[in-house]
Amino acid sequence: MKKQFYQERAIFILIIAFFLLPSNKTLSQIENFKGLPQFLFPEFSATRVKMKAGKDLNLLLNYNLVNEKMVFFQKDQVYDMLNQSNVDTIYLSGSKFIPYEKVFYDAHPGVPVSLFIQHRGRLLAPPKPAAYGGTSEVSSSTYITRMELGSQVYNMKLEGDLRVKYDPLYWVKFNDQMYSFVNEKQYLKIFTGKEEVLKQFIKKNRLKFEKADDLLKIWGYTNEVMK
């Protein structure tokens, strides 16, 4: 009896898993959303979403840099995730995202310093003719990238020559306080008394804050010197 129960349960789980997997038709349709500049990752990924209520979801996700929303692919379209207050953690493309106010942070827990990356981007209009035959870029907020559809928010494709400039904001949590920074000068001010030690480490290793791998090295060393 018990053996039969487990066999039937295993079959049921396989059936459910089959329907959760994207079909060939879905995979074909989602190809239309690959490589779009408003998204953090080049393509949507099957992702585990851990909910605060304890039930996990499996969705095809990406992150919109322009409106700083987690987005999911469903019914041939891309929609904003509107219930992020119910989300505990999203494990997307090797990163750990947690909700914070109206956005998601790419979280790197640490002791005594935790690092958070607020991925964001500015929408750029096509270059305009400038003096002496050159061109100039301007930031634009007039181009529609989202459309309200009842209770859903549909993400439209960017058409033409529109581009997105990646412009992240970094945060560290230290002594139960959140501090934002975008460059070395702002970062060093956070860690009073250790500025010179950190500065020498950055200089010796030729590290740059705009490089993700370098930033993680700086953060790792900060945890060592602040213990």
Tell me if 6 is assigned to some domain: no
Is 112 in the same domain as 79?
no
Is 111 in the same domain as 171?
yes
SS (H, E, C) 88-135: EEEEECCEEEEEECCEEEEEECCCCCEEEEECCEEEECCCEECHHHCE
Q: What is the pLDDT of residue 157?
A: 65
DSSP 3-state of 9: helix
Is 48 in the same domain as 77?
yes
Each residue's pLDDT tens digit, 96-109: 999 998 899 999 99
Find the range with the poorest average confidence among 54-63, 73-82, 130-139, 218-227.
130-139
The model's confidence at residue 90, banded by pLDDT at 50, 70 and 90, is very high
Q: What is the pLDDT of residue 137?
A: 45
Q: What's the structural domain count of the chain?
A: 2
Computed over every residue of the chain, the mean pLDDT equals 79
Is 83 in the same domain as 189?
no
Q: Is 214 exposed, middle or buried (0-12, 13-18, 19+ CB in 10 A)?
A: middle
Q: pLDDT above 70 covers what percent of the chain?
A: 71
Tell me if 184 is assigned to some domain: yes
Is 112 in the same domain as 199?
yes
Each residue's pLDDT tens digit, 166-197: 999 999 999 999 999 999 999 999 999 999 99
Give the domain range for residue 184: 101-120+167-227
Is 185 in the same domain as 216?
yes
Q: What is the pLDDT of residue 54?
A: 81
Tell me if 31 is assigned to some domain: yes
Is 151 in the same domain as 220?
no
The model's confidence at residue 70, banded by pLDDT at 50, 70 and 90, is very high
Is 147 in the same domain as 178?
no
The model's confidence at residue 23, banded by pLDDT at 50, 70 and 90, is very low
Is 40 in the same domain as 86?
yes
Tell which wins on pLDDT, 139 or 113: 113
Tell me if 15 is assigned to some domain: no
Each residue's pLDDT tens digit, 3-22: 333 333 333 333 233 333 44
Is 106 in the same domain as 43?
no
Is 85 in the same domain as 145?
yes
The model's confidence at residue 127, banded by pLDDT at 50, 70 and 90, is low
Tell me if 5 is assigned to some domain: no
Of the candidates 70, 74, 134, 72, the one whose C-alpha atom is nearest the C-alpha of residue 98 is: 70
Is 172 in the same domain as 226?
yes
